[in-house]
Amino acid sequence: MKKLINRRPGKPASWALGLLPFLLLIVAYMLASDARLTENPNDKLLPALDSFVQAIDRMAFEPSKRSGEYLLWEDTLASLQRLGIGVAISALIAVVVGIGNGTIPLIRSTFSPLVTGLSLVPPMAILPVLFIIFGLGELAKVMLIIIGITPFMIRDLQQRAMEIPAEQIIKMQTLGANTWQIITRLVWPQLMPRLISAVRLSLGPAWLFLIAAEAIAATEGLGYRIFLVRRYLSMDVILPYVVWITLLAFAIDFLLSRYSQWRYPWFHQKSH
C-alpha cells in the first residue's frame, strides 16, 4: 500500500470524486426542501426542484407578459455587455499604463504613486459619486467596473513588466532595438499571457461590481433581476440565476485559460 500522499486517482475516479460533493449538496438540498415543504407547503425559502424547472421555463423560454421579452436572455445579454465593455476597457488601460510604468522609469516615477493611491480607494464608496456624475445609465455601471478593477490590473501588469529579465532588455538593445521596438517586440508580447491571467483574476471583482451597480440602478440585467424578485422572496428564480451567473463566470474563465495555453505555449510550459 502506497503512502496516502503518493496515491493519485485515475481519470474516471478523479471525475467521480469531483462530482461527489455537488451530488451531496443537491441531495442535502432536496432533503431539507422536502422537510420544510411537508411542514408548510407555501414555504418559499427552499423551493422544490420542479419549482425551479417552472421558474427557469418561465424566465428563459416564455416571453414576459409585461414586455414580451425573454427575461433571462435579455438580462444575460445586458449584463455580459456591461461586463465585457468594462473589462475590455480596463484591460486596455492596464496594458498601456502597465507597460509605460513597468518599462520606462520616467513614466513610472510620475504615475506609479498615483496608481497606488487610486488602487486604495474603495470603489463601492464612490459609487454614489459615479451615479451623480454619470447619471443612472449604462455609463455609471461600466465605470464602476473600470474603477474597481483597473488599478489592480495596472499594478499587476507593471510588476510583470518589471520582472522581464534585464538580460532580455539588454539583448534587444544590442540587436539594435529602440525603446519603442523593445515595447512592441519584447514587452507587449511577453505581457499578453500575463494580461489574460490578470483579466481572469479580476473577473471575480468585476462581477461583484456589476451586480452591485445593477442592484441599485438598472432596468434589466442579472443583478437587477435577483434584487427585484427578492421582494417576493422568489428563491425559485434567485437560485437558478445564481447558478447561471456562476456557470457564465466559469465558462469565461475556462475559455480564457484555454486560449492562453493554446496561444502562448512558451509561457505555460516554461513555468512547469
Residues that bind another protein (CB under 8 A): 165-168, 170-178, 180-181, 184-186, 189-190, 264-267, 269-270
| Rounded Cα gap, residues 262 and 250, in angstroms | 18
| Rounded Cα gap, residues 21 and 109, in angstroms | 50
For residue 177, report the phi and psi dihedrals to the nearest 5 degrees.
-75, 140
Work out the burial of residue 227: count CB atoms within 10 Å of its CB; fewer than 13 is exposed, 13-18 middle, 19 or more buried.
middle
User: Tell me, what amino acid is at 69?
Assistant: E
Query: What do you get for the CA distance between the two ends of the chain, in Å?
Result: 29
Minimum CB distance to another protein, residue 180 (Å): 7
> Rounded to 5 degrees, what angle do the CA atoms 123, 234, 124 make?
5
| Rounded Cα gap, residues 147 and 215, in angstroms | 18
User: Tell me, what amino acid is at 188?
Assistant: W
User: Tell me, what amino acid is at 253?
Assistant: D
| Rounded Cα gap, residues 183 and 216, in angstroms | 42
CA atoms within 13 A on the CB side of 119: 15
Minimum CB distance to another protein smaller for 185 or for 258:
185
User: Tell me, what amino acid is at 22?
Assistant: F
Minimum CB distance to another protein smaller for 204 or for 265:
265
Minimum CB distance to another protein smaller for 40 or for 174:
174
Minimum CB distance to another protein, residue 90 (Å): 24
Minimum CB distance to another protein, residue 102 (Å): 16
Minimum CB distance to another protein, residue 181 (Å): 4
Minimum CB distance to another protein, residue 172 (Å): 8
Alpha carbon separation from 112 to 52, 93, 103, 120, 151 (Å, rounded): 50, 14, 12, 13, 10
Minimum CB distance to another protein smaller for 79 or for 190:
190
Minimum CB distance to another protein, residue 267 (Å): 7
Minimum CB distance to another protein smaller for 54 or for 168:
168
Minimum CB distance to another protein smaller for 105 or for 113:
105
Minimum CB distance to another protein smaller for 4 or for 166:
166
Minimum CB distance to another protein, residue 165 (Å): 5
